[in-house]
A and B are shown apart, each in its own frame.
Chain A
């Protein structure tokens, strides 16, 4: 049975803006599904509809077997949610928050004590459990949020940009946790604007741009669909680049890119073409100083599907503290 089934899902906001414009997707039970897209593409709006925080204006969605629009209470019972804004009461301690979350999910505090301890330990917050959340770092908050989302053993876990704004170490810790959850059989729906995250974690992924799903499949299949591997070469000092270009022009896409003493060749027939390229250069008397085979990335996929690069440039600048002051 599919854990998530979405069909022609739409959300139109006041003023006619369609943040989500007819999305179809299916996530199998036990799968990690990556939902990849830039800021403003409609990721969060989609998640908010799937977790019953926002009513769809058209289309339908079933999560854990229940319709989000007509059986929201059933859905809520079966999902765990860690939203982008890890909303945690700064005045409460980590343990108090876990207990409150358990109570909100109708679990008696007694029966949850062990589970709470286990989760706190699992996300590495045992020593901070009695501290107020106001003193936590960003990474600790996200981990606590994850633990809270897991308290009632949800069938489907929604993580909305779980690592945005985190330092690399905290990001790795969270990735580890997501992998562990998948190994335990939890279905995970994860939104991200990071290609690497989608690549690392997702069994399958969907790419969303301007409210529409523009591509879907396993990361490997998507990459295979758009790209060929590139061979990047650095020639030894003093080499005549123009002459070298002539030599390799008969390989790859016949338009080798060059820059300084770098050469980049898109290989038509994959890695099997490396040896002939090197042999030809060697025969012509060129010495190769460095060599790298580059596989296509999800960014290539994204570029192919949307005409834009995903990463870089769409990270919003952090607002200066205090905000309201206006320059005269």
Chain B
């Protein structure tokens, strides 16, 4: 078991290595959710005056969306990096390691979890500087767990696509997946204000629960009723997409 943990650690370090050594490459991914949050709140800010909006401030309402978007981008980037590793042959080296395939996947996905905290932290720093209320430590810890969980799920999605297409050209597919997953939820407005078709999608999209789980601490108090669906949803996503990713890996080598 310690061997396995050490392997996960080593692969995660390699994933993180990329940010530390090529910081320029990570900048767009870190900035994008913040730009999005600032832009949306500047443009659509008045939407919060609609009756039925449960936050008085649109920016506060949209901050959790940005955090999850960062997780989504990070997950997609993990898929793109894996596709590059497949193209260049590095992935063969990983598959040649005498380790269980889930351990290798955990190494790849684990770094996505840690990396997803970077755009979220930057976003929160900007948001707090602009006057978004401090939600409390426990609330932030819950948000961090959910952000990391969603990053893991989206990284598994990226891995599935990367293993299927084996080329970085599949990047838009990975990004599109995370875009739809995070935003076709109650991202823009409370459920009651969504148009019928979007409400229908948001109702079946498990990320809606994850988003509401992150959001509750920003717009009000954390309740168990909003927390457990979020935790169940994110766990389910990780399990299902993780199983698909492991299956994809077994198909490559075996």
Contacts and interface: CB of A to CB of B under 8 A. Distances in A.
Judge A-B direct contact (beta carbons within 8 Å): yes
A71 B15 CA distance: 29
Contact of B253 (A54, A79, A103, A148): A54
Nearest to A48: B92
Nearest to B94: A104
B140 interface: no
B98 A73 contact: yes
Nearest to B251: A55
A87 B97 contact: no
Interface string A89-132: 10110000001110111101100000000000000000000000
B90 interface: yes
Given A92-B17, A100-B14, A77 B98 contact: yes
Interface in B201-245: none
Contacts of A74: 98
Q: Chain A, interface size: which category? A: 20 to 34
B92 A104 contact: no
A104 B97 contact: yes
Contact of A52 (B7, B22, B254): B254
A315 interface: no
A128 B43 CA distance: 54
Interface in B71-97: 85, 88-97
Contacts of A79: 96
A72 B249 CA distance: 14
A81 interface: yes
Tell me if A's interface is mostly helix, strand, loop or mixed: loop
Contact of A81 (B14, B18, B85, B96): B96
Contacts, number: 72
B3 interface: yes
A101 B6 CA distance: 12
Contacts of A43: none
B93 to A, nearest CB: 6
B21 interface: yes
The SS class assigned to the B binding surface is helix
A85 B89 contact: yes
B253 A85 contact: no
Interface in B1-27: 3, 6-7, 9-11, 14, 17-18, 21-22
B99 A106 contact: yes
B6 A108 contact: yes
B90 A55 contact: no
A72 B94 contact: no
A249 interface: no
A257 B90 CA distance: 52
Interface in A46-94: 51-55, 69, 72-74, 76-77, 79, 81, 83, 85-89, 91-92
Nearest to B21: A91
A140 to B, nearest CB: 17
A103 B6 contact: yes
A72 B254 CA distance: 7
Contacts of A100: 10, 14
A52 B101 CA distance: 13
Interface string B79-123: 000000100111111111111100000000000000000000000
B253 A52 contact: yes
A81 B91 CA distance: 13
B222 to A, nearest CB: 39
Given A52-B96, A105-B98, A108-B6, A92 B14 contact: yes
Contact of A104 (B10, B85, B88, B100): B10
Task: Point out which of A88, A91, A100, A105 has the most chain B C-beta atoms below 10 A from its C-beta.
Answer: A100
6 contacts: A52-B96, A72-B253, A76-B97, A87-B92, A91-B22, A100-B10
Interface of A: 51-55, 69, 72-74, 76-77, 79, 81, 83, 85-89, 91-92, 99-101, 103-106, 108-109, 148
Interface of B: 3, 6-7, 9-11, 14, 17-18, 21-22, 85, 88-100, 252-254
